[in-house]
Structure 1
Amino acid sequence: MQQGASAAPAFAKGADISWVPGMEAQGRTWKDKNGVQRDIIQILKNDYQINSVRIRVFVNPSNDYGNGYLNKERAAALAQRAKNAGMSVMLTLHYSDSWADPGKQTKPAAWRNYTFQQLMDAVWNYTRDVMNAMSSRGVTPDWVQIGNETNNGLLWEDGKASVNMRNYAWLINTGHNAVKSISSGTKTIVHLATSEDNALYVWNIGGLIANGANFDMIGMSLYPTASNWSTLVNQTISNANNMITRYGKEIIISEIGMDYNQPAAAKSFIADMKTKVRNLPNGKGKGVFYWEPQASPGYNGGYNKGAWQADGRPTVALEGFLN
């Protein structure tokens, strides 16, 4: 058993906190609902029962640290801080120098001219480097995402799923094997957006498995509105049930969010998602993560799906996590 091998919570109630170090570097602080300024991680843990954090890692981010562009060293420092607070850690490896999502999966500049074999070697070495950076600070992640929202694969064009599903599968396998080579107890995740889209998941996850990819869990993203969240949660749960039936994989909701101006709806949305994921068959529903709840309105170019107000106090949204 590796040092600190997985002791993940039975059910993760999580928050992506990747912007926290940058916000703090900009002098931002947070208050609790009583208006008392406290450490944001302590507020999340003690006031909202958040037991897990999600941290994204870029390869060579050129952007301003103040805007939260975490390389492996900054990510490891944040992970250590969360672990010291008694929380579990999910890493999201973007395999890019900036945001990877359904619309863009840009290779790191340093990898741009690699052959496919060199690309696989880079994924292997980089994944191990990040895991070792974590280990050097006493952190063994409970979960690692091999890519972020890889609806059409990753590391385009080589790993674009619609062009070469085999390459996509081999890249996922390489990342999975690299994680396991450092920590056999860490769970690997393939993460797709649009959690309600069953056809996408059957094509992508089914395509990976048909091409021999190994991974432990399926991650999902959902960003509904106050008017459609209930419908989309039910479609997400239907899709999750289908994934469990078809592939036997565990399900984790890697990202959810809703506009900070709709806090009551967001609270209901979180509570409903939490309950329904927890009740997935055979204990296969493993958790729900809110994306960057500590973001203030309009942060970093206009992000408005945080759970804090302009006055530094939280909305009621995260109360949806409370038992």
Structure 2
Amino acid sequence: MRLSTLLLALAFSAATACAQKFVGGDISLLPEYEEAKAAYFDHSGSAIASPLEFFKEEGMNAMRLRLFVNPSQYSGSDKDPNACQDIEYVKQLGKRIKDAGFKLMLDFHYSDTWADPAKQWTPAEWVGLSDTELYQKIYSYTKDALTQMVNAGATPDFIQPGNEISYGMLWGAYGTAEASLKKCYIGNSANWNRFTTLLINAVKACREVCPEARIVLHTERVQQPDVLANFYAQMKNASVDYDIIGLSYYPYWHGALTVLENALRRMENDFADKDIMLVETGYPYAWEVPGSTYNFSSLYPYSDDGQKAFTKALIDMLNQHQAVKGLFWWWMEYNAKNTNLSGWYNAPLFDSRTGCATAAMDVMREFVSDPASVHGVTVPADEDANWYTLSGQRVAAPSQKGVYVHKGKKILRYAKD
């Protein structure tokens, strides 16, 4: 047996940071589970000393973290203790994430509670402000929050000015009559100028404080490509400055993978200059998620293997789309094992019945190790004589067969008799 080297005739620049892909999850409640002494175990049942270090071992390189304005001020009947991430909380967890070597996505909710397509309540302290005053407030609040993050050693690498803002944001106070809410719809010009002006001012603060961060505009209408296209066309027409189209996709609410792929194709066609990230997704490892609209258990059973099969199918599809640069699993860290917490949520990447990481977590690494491309090698090729795997890991001169990067080229090492 001897090794031969075949130089692949592929143009490649190792300096293209924009080609890097990011995989991870929203872990906004990790400190709560740690404080509750949740028992985290790896795939084989061995105790996990540090979840963040374990996530790194699983091949993840980015984490997402949400921020509410002042969750203690929310007085709605649906008040949720899980919406607890104020600026002090976020600074501490954000620093841990950055210190562990991850990229950080900061998700501004611009509300005291959950902001999503069903509700975008204006923070209690902002309710009395006019639109003109809100434009200044969103700028000053964003600038102050980001300045605090930077000073805390938690500088975000990606920033979402708003969460699932398909129909606008800062609609009005909790309990405002539907007819008076300042929503934005396709086919209706009302409130779009207000909304885009809010975004322009928020993004201005982001660019001033974190000039290297990439801006993500987050929507969730993947089942309605026309609504998505209208949203981002409105952004373009208003000259809203952003870098990445961020999407939510939950198969049990949005539909089959073909629904997501149709949305991706529309975004790639209409907004070819933008990268795309799937900033929220999930699938059950057990029973059906409450409130599900679609059931794919015949294809992907509600089991550890079924969750793994869905995740692999999702990643295989995403890796066919070069514009897709990010994949984040929502509420990845949820784990009620050995706690008094409810175990109702069954779509994280830990099984609350055992505390063990699900098989799907190990599959997530395949998003950044797609053999069709190279990620994470940022040293100029003409200055770097090292060898790298396709996921960007530096290795010694390889003795095993496989595809590597060396001096700016892809190298196939293969065995030949």
DSSP-derived class of the 1:289 partner: strand
Shift of 1:68: 5.6
1:287 to 326, 336, 356: 326
Q: Could you tell me which residue of structure 2 aligns to residue 221 of structure 1?
A: 248
Counterpart pick for 1:267 among 300, 303, 308? 308
Aligned to 2:361: 318
Task: Describe the SS at the equivalent of 1:322.
Answer: helix
Rate the CA distance shift 1:84–1:136 in 2: closer, same or farther, 3 A.
same
Distance 1:319 1:196 in 2: 28
Residue 134 of structure 1 corresponds to which residue in structure 2?
149
Compared CA separation, residues 226 and 188, structure 1 to 2 (3 A): closer
Letter in 2 for 1:120: Y
TM-score after normalising by structure 1: 0.88
Judge conservation of contact 2:121–2:171 (CA < 8 Å) in 1: yes
- Say if 2:183 is the partner of 1:160: yes
Contact 1:105–1:156 (8 Å) recurs in 2:
yes
1:191 and 2:218 matched: yes
Identity %: 28
CA drift of 1:148 comes to 0.3
Q: How far, CA to CA, are the matches of 1:103 and 1:151 in structure 2?
A: 10
The amino acid that maps onto 1:270 is: T
Measured on the aligned residues, the alpha-carbon RMSD in Å equals 2.5
Which one has the bigger helix percentage?
Answer: 1
Which of 266, 271, 276 is the aligned partner of 1:251? 276
2:35 pairs, out of 21, 25, 31, with: 25
1:303 aligned to which of 324, 345, 362: 345
Query: Does residue 1:108 correspond to 2:123, yes or no?
Result: yes
1:120 to 115, 135, 138: 135
CA apart distance, 1:224? 0.6
CA distance in 2, matches of 1:169, 1:145: 14
Gaps of 5+ in 1: 1-6
- 139, 144, 153: which one aligns with 2:159: 144
User: What SS does the aligned partner of 2:271 have?
Assistant: helix
Distance 1:114 1:304 in 2: 40
Structure 2 CA distance for aligned equivalents of residues 255 and 227 of structure 1:
12
Give the CA deviation at 1:8. Answer: 7.9
Give the superposition deviation at 1:192. Answer: 0.4
Alignment-mate amino acid for residue 255 of structure 1:
E
TM-score by length of 2: 0.69
Structure 2 segments unaligned to the other structure (5+ residues): 1-16, 173-180, 287-301, 367-417
- The answer (yes or no) to whether the contact 1:297–1:308 under 8 Å persists in 2 is no
1:58/1:70 contact within 8 Å kept: yes
Q: Helix, strand or coil: the match of 1:207?
A: helix
Cα deviation, 1:46-98, whole Å, max 9, x if unaligned, reads 1x211100000000012799736111111111111111111000000000001
What secondary structure is seen at the aligned counterpart in 2 of 1:37? coil
Q: Which residue of 2 aligns with 1:3?
A: none
Report the alpha carbon displacement of residue 23 of structure 1 after superposing the two structures with TM: 1.7
The equivalent of 2:52 in structure 1 is 41
Deviations 1:266-310 (A, max 9, x none): 3233334334434434xx321110001121379668432212112
CA deviation profile, 1:197-216 (whole Å, cap 9, x unmatched) = 21111121111221232212
Q: Corresponding residue for 2:24?
A: 14
The structural deviation recorded for 1:11 is 0.3
User: Residues 68 and 84 of structure 2 are in contact (CA less than 8 Å); yes or no, is this contact kept in structure 1?
Assistant: yes
Please say if residues 230 and 269 of structure 1, whose CA atoms lie closer than 8 Å, have aligned partners that are also in contact.
no
CA distance in 2, matches of 1:219, 1:226: 17
